[in-house]
Amino acid sequence: MTKKMETRTCPSCESETEVVEKKVSIPVGNESFTTKTLVCKKCGRYALTRAIRKEMDAWGRKLSKNIVEPQPIFTEAAHQFAEGMAIQYGMKRVPFFRVLTTFYLNHVVNREDFQELKNYWETHVSRKFLNEGTRSKVSVPIRYLMYRKLQIFSEVWNTSHAKAIEESVLFGLAVLSSEAKSFEKLKAIAESLQQYITDVAQAA
């Protein structure tokens, strides 16, 4: 069967070149998504079109396993505080980390005052407390939907998945600390986060 071939402007080569329809494997964490698309004969690049992303999302949502395990690093104080908070909601520490990360990516980073909030908690006394003690890694298994959110955040802010989780968790822990609630905006976020954790815990 003759392969479909066209002439188009390749955004990578920035020149008119031939593209041919080929099967490609797109890395998604530790998995690979396979599809057919037009590939530049000159540089081998292809575009992640809206159609491909939609197809990949449908494939990813059907996956029943974790596709990546970032290893964020937290201090002993952060681990202990997170453990205590998780127990209050009937959860274990690693699932609690995932909940804090999901809340941060879905409900905090898209706020218009995100940078103001980020600057505030990064200089807050609770941040200093959470940075005390020896530091150790923890594996946080991630499935597709959370991976997709992490990937977007990591690309925008030029950071790793592990660092994104660290930022999300430390923000959540700081918000849940009693000291942070003196700042009206963080108080409102804390109430929303507490309800979100409760809903997730009850649904588990």
Q: What is the pLDDT of residue 98?
A: 97
Residue 79 lies in a domain: yes
pLDDT at residue number 119: 80
Token code pair at residue 15: 């020149």
Q: Give the position of tokens 């815990």.
A: 201
- Per-residue pLDDT band for 8 (boundaries 50, 70, 90) equals low
pLDDT single digits (tens) 109-159: 999 988 888 887 777 666 677 777 899 999 999 999 999 999 999 999 999
Burial 44-60 (b: 16+ CB within 10 A, else e): eebeeeeebeeebeebb
Looking at the fold, whether 107 and 185 belong to one and the same domain comes out as yes
Domain that holds residue 39: 5-62
Q: What is the 3-state secondary structure of 166-197?
A: HHHHHHHHHHHCHHHHHCHHHHHHHHHHHHHH
**What sign has the CA pseudo-torsion 175, 138, 93, 100?**
positive
Shared domain for 30 and 77, answered yes or no, is no
User: Is residue 40 one of the residues assigned to a domain?
Assistant: yes
- State the chain's mean pLDDT as an integer: 87
**Percent of the chain, pLDDT > 90?**
59
d(CA 45, CA 40): 5
Residues 6 or more apart whose Cβ sits within 8 Å of residue 84 = none
- Length of the chain measured in residues: 204
Provide mean pLDDT across the span 17-35: 89
Task: Tell me the mean pLDDT in the region 176-189.
Answer: 71
Question: Which span out of 94-98, 169-173, 182-186 was modeled with the highest average pLDDT?
Answer: 94-98
One domain for residues 85 and 120:
yes
User: What secondary structure does DSSP assign to 42-80, as a single string?
Assistant: TT--B---HHHHHHHHHHHHH--S--B----EEEHHHHH
- Do 96 and 46 share a structural domain? no
Query: What single letter denotes the amino acid at residue 19?
Result: V
Total domains in the fold of the chain: 2
Least confident of 11-15, 81-85, 187-191: 11-15
Is residue 77 over pLDDT 50? yes
- Tens of pLDDT along 39-57? 888 888 888 889 999 999 9
